[in-house]
């Protein structure tokens, strides 16, 4: 999970027909932001007390949740908790498995609480106390609080009874400047702190989704205002160019897969002997072991800056080599237009590399993390599997869309 620490976004809710297979889209608006500095927060989760992985149940039909994009490197959506719903902006994060939001009862010196929406149990007629203490340690931030139970509203689904965290103490300033209120985990149950059932499992168990499948479409039209969609229960073929290439999950905790190798143009091979990779919607950039990322930046002319970021000379973007990832026997290519983050404001143009070094120690690492820079170009379908087939991730080239229109929804086979 790697949120950005900048300005808030305007979010809207998406409505759907619960029994239909037609997507109904509501365009999401992108705020025109003042000139500023990009400061990604690497917060790959080191979650405590993992629980056992259970077999997912089955249920009903697909629903859709809107995503807002921030400078094309961070995406947010809106959920509701309680009756009537109290709205929160959340990062939908496949790198963690718990849902949490700030609490109305947070400590006075917990600065992030004062800059974000806070859950008020007294304002909800469906609140059910739990009181169990929880704590989550991320790579550059931590929080603690208590567990509570209430009704979740998400993308047209109502009355989902979920257990979530009320954050009482967020000592890390990184959360104070975050544009989101909380985090909605979409990882496997093995990552869930205190063994709390994941929101996805709960929706399937309560018969609100047909299958434990969801997909992410992140709009890569930089000029558009539509941020994308999280599709719960299936995938939308209007989002991608077939076919989907499915790669099996190797360790069902994070959405971890095997990557055969990475090529920078035709002259540099990384991950030469194969390596582990995590498909992580909560990470803004693509990360890899520091030695390999240094070699990559040398190859594309990246100039070191603060906090591990690298400048790219904007004028050189047309001449930069493609960077290709071999996954499931298929090459997934990123052009410089895909992997260079371009920020323009008031006549000023800044270009930054979409790659950053991150050394994840053993036994989890070393590994690569394919974050939003990768997922803008490729739709990802996350399939938890069933009794006859294991978990897998499907990838296909995304379509450039400006939002609007309708399409037929589908489930993974």
CB atoms within 10 A of CB 36: 12
**H or E segment and range at residue 70:** strand 68-70
HSE-CB for 175 with a 13 A CA cutoff: 33
Chain mean position to CA 360: 19
Task: Please state, in angstroms and rounded to a whole number, the distance separating the CA atoms of residues 361 and 254.
Answer: 15
Torsion of CA 341, 347, 348, 351, to 10 degrees: 20
Q: Which of 281, 278, 275, 245 is nearest to 259 (CA)?
A: 275
HSE-CB for 219 with a 13 A CA cutoff: 24
Task: Please state, in angstroms and rounded to a whole number, the distance separating the CA atoms of residues 388 and 233.
Answer: 18
Q: Which of 40, 35, 30, 39 is nearest to 9 (CA)?
A: 30
Q: Is 256 helix (H, G, I), strand (E, B) or coil?
A: strand
The token duo for 380 is 């990802």
Task: Please state, in angstroms and rounded to a whole number, the distance separating the CA atoms of residues 240 and 33.
Answer: 29
Task: Please state, in angstroms and rounded to a whole number, the distance separating the CA atoms of residues 25 and 31.
Answer: 19
- HEC secondary structure over 325-374: EEECCEEEEECHHHHEEEEEECCEEEEEECEEECCCCCCCCCEEEECHHH
Active site residue 413: no
Instruction: Give burial (CB, 10 Å; 0-12/13-18/19+) of 258.
Output: middle
Choosing from 194, 201, 280, 372, the catalytic residue is 280
Active site residue 383: no
DSSP state of 206: T
Report angle CA 65, 69, 70 to the nearest 5 degrees.
Answer: 145
Residues with catalytic annotation?
A: 93, 280
């Amino acid at each position: 999970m790697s949120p950005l620490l900048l300005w808030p976004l305007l979010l809207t809710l998406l409505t759907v027909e619960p029994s239909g297979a037609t997507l109904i889209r509501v365009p999401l608006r992108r705020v025109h932001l003042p000139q500023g500095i990009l400061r990604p927060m690497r917060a790959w989760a080191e979650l405590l007390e993992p629980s056992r992985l259970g077999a997912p149940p089955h249920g009903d039909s697909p629903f859709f949740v809107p995503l807002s994009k921030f400078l094309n490197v961070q995406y947010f959506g809106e959920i509701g908790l309680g009756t009537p719903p109290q709205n929160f902006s959340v990062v939908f994060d496949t790198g963690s498995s718990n849902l949490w939001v700030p609490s109305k009862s947070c400590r006075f010196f917990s600065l992030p609480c004062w800059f974000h929406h806070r859950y008020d149990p007294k304002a909800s007629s469906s609140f059910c106390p739990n009181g169990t203490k929880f704590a989550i340690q991320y790579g550059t931030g931590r929080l603690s609080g208590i567990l509570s139970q209430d009704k979740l509203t998400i993308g047209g689904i109502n009355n989902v009874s979920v257990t979530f965290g009320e954050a009482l103490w967020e000592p890390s300033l990184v959360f104070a400047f975050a544009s989101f209120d909380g985090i909605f985990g979409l990882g496997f149950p093995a990552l869930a702190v205190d063994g709390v059932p994941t929101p996805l499992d709960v929706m399937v168990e309560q018969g609100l989704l047909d299958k434990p499948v969801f997909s992410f479409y992140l709009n890569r039209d930089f000029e558009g205002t539509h941020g994308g969609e999280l599709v719960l229960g299936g995938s939308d073929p209007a989002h991608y160019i077939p076919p989907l290439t499915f790669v099996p999950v190797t360790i069902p905790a994070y959405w971890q897969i095997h990557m055969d190798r990475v090529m920078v143009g035709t002259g540099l091979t990384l991950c030469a002997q194969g390596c582990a990779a995590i498909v992580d919607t909560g990470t803004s950039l693509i990360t890899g072991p520091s030695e390999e990322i240094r070699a990559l930046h040398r190859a594309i002319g990246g100039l070191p800056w603060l906090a591990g970021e690298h400048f790219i000379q904007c004028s050189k973007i047309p001449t930069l080599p493609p960077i290709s990832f071999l996954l499931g026997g298929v090459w997934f290519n990123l052009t410089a237009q895909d992997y260079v983050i371009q920020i323009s404001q008031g006549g000023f143009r800044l270009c930054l590399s979409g790659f950053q070094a991150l050394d994840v120690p053993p036994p989890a690492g070393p590994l690569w993390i394919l974050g939003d820079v990768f997922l803008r170009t490729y739709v990802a379908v996350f399939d938890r599997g069933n009794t006859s087939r294991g978990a897998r991730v499907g990838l296909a080239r995304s379509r450039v869309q400006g939002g609007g229109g309708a399409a037929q929804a589908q489930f993974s086979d």
